[in-house]
Structure formats: structure tokens, C-alpha cells
């Protein structure tokens, strides 16, 4: 229940931030920018694994929208008599808000909605690989530092909520959900 409450709070916070300005009538001084870069995450629990991926998008004022792709590796898991590698691959859309606290440090928030697959794979016998389609929500908040006019990095905290793990015997949605700490690098032309 606590997990759902935190996710709902982050979602409502993001919606509230977007409600401050509308997409159809941005202020006349709004500039547009483009960016892209890698994403790295590590789970807070040792069984939560590591994630890596990339993101890209456009920014307008303090807001941004775009897409992302991310793969997570959870290590080896024993089920019945076989050892499997547990992994997750997702991609989708994202929307976020960056608010300057001072010229170099910004509050950073991002909400990712993605689809993909949860997988159990056996290195010795690929015929035993099992895959299940999933849906994921991933709200994150953090602090972003402007290194140069074209490079920024953020330290974030996030939670990944997963739904749809039905066909992986012995596993459920909770085996692919986790709290994590992340590093987001963004390179490009920024509009703020």
C-alpha cells in the first residue's frame, strides 16, 4: 500500500506541475531545446539489480517530454532445478519538470510510462527461456547539476511499479519492482 501511495503522490505532483502552464499556450518567452543521454540505476536492495539505458526528448521552458529505453539485470535466480537470469526490458514515453534552485543546481522530476518484457533466461538451454509482457510506471525525483551549457547530470531516487507478470511460474510483479538510486546524464541544447 505504501508503494502505491508514493507512486500516486509522485504522479499527482507531476500533473500539478504540468497544470501550471498548458502545452497549447506556452508563454511567449518559452524556448525549445533538445537533449539525449544515458540512464544508470542501482536497486537499494542487493536483489534488485542494476539498470542501464538511454533517453531523449525536447524541452520547453522548465518542462520536457520524450522517450526512453532501459534494461535491468537482477542476477541469477534458482527455480526448481534450473538457474535462471532474471531481467526486464522496457521502453516508452516520459514527461518531466526541471526547476532551477540556483544557476547550477536544479530540482529534477521525471515520470516514465513503459511497456516491455520480464524474462527468465537459461544460458545453457535457450529453449527454457520464459518471457512475459509487462507494463511499468517509474516516477523519479532528484537534483540536477549544470556542468556546462550543454551537459547536465542528475542524482535521482525512483520506484518502478510493474504489472502483468503472470506467466513466469514462481514470480510475480513484486519480483521486478524496486526502489533505486540513479544517475541521469543529459547532453544537448537546454531551453531554460
Fill in the DSSP letter of residue 176: G
Closest CA relative to residue 159, chosen from 14, 78, 48, 25: 48
Contact by Cβ (8 Å): 120, 85: yes
pLDDT score of 30: 57
Cell numbers for 151, please give them. 551537459
Domain 2-20+33-189: which topology? Porin (2.40.160)
Q: In which element (H, E) is residue 84 found?
A: strand 82-100
Cell numbers for 87, please give them. 531481467
Residue ranges per domain, the chain?
Answer: 2-20+33-189
What residues form DSSP beta bridges with 96? 64, 110
Question: Cβ–Cβ contacts within 10 Å for residue 188, how many?
Answer: 17
Helical spans, DSSP H, in the chain: 2-19
Q: For residue 48, how far is the Cα from the chain centroid? A: 14
Cell numbers for 91, please give them. 521502453
pLDDT of the chain, 192 residues: tens digit per residue? 455 555 544 544 554 444 444 444 445 555 899 999 999 999 998 778 899 999 999 999 899 999 999 999 988 877 777 778 889 999 999 999 999 998 899 999 999 999 999 998 877 777 768 899 999 999 999 999 999 999 999 999 999 999 999 988 888 898 889 999 999 999 999 876
Contact by Cβ (8 Å): 190, 66: no
pLDDT score of 37: 98
Those residues with Cβ within 8 angstroms of residue 56's Cβ, 6 or more apart along the chain or in another chain: 34, 35, 36, 37, 66, 67, 68
- State the Cα–Cα distance between residues 28 and 52, nearest whole angstrom: 37
pLDDT score of 26: 47
pLDDT score of 132: 94
Contact by Cβ (8 Å): 17, 97: yes
pLDDT score of 192: 65
Amino acid at each position: 500500500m505504501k508503494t502505491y501511495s508514493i507512486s500516486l503522490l509522485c504522479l499527482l505532483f507531476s500533473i500539478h506541475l504540468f497544470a501550471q502552464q498548458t502545452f497549447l499556450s506556452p508563454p511567449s518567452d518559452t524556448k525549445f531545446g533538445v537533449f539525449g543521454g544515458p540512464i544508470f540505476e542501482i536497486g537499494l536492495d542487493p536483489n534488485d539489480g542494476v539498470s542501464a539505458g538511454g533517453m531523449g526528448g525536447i524541452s520547453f521552458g522548465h518542462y520536457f517530454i520524450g522517450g526512453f529505453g532501459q534494461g535491468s539485470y537482477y542476477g541469477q535466480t534458482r527455480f526448481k532445478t534450473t538457474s535462471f537470469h532474471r531481467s526486464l526490458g522496457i521502453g516508452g514515453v516520459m514527461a518531466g519538470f526541471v526547476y532551477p534552485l540556483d544557476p547550477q543546481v536544479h530540482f529534477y522530476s521525471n515520470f516514465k510510462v513503459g511497456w516491455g518484457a520480464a524474462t527468465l533466461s537459461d544460458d545453457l538451454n535457450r529453449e527454457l527461456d520464459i518471457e512475459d509482457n509487462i507494463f511499468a510506471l517509474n516516477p523519479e525525483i532528484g537534483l540536477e547539476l549544470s556542468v556546462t551549457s550543454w551537459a547536465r547530470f542528475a542524482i535521482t531516487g525512483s520506484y518502478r511499479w510493474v504489472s502483468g507478470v503472470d506467466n513466469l511460474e514462481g514470480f510475480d510483479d513484486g519480483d521486478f519492482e524496486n526502489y533505486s538510486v540513479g544517475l541521469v546524464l543529459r547532453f544537448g541544447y537546454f531551453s531554460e
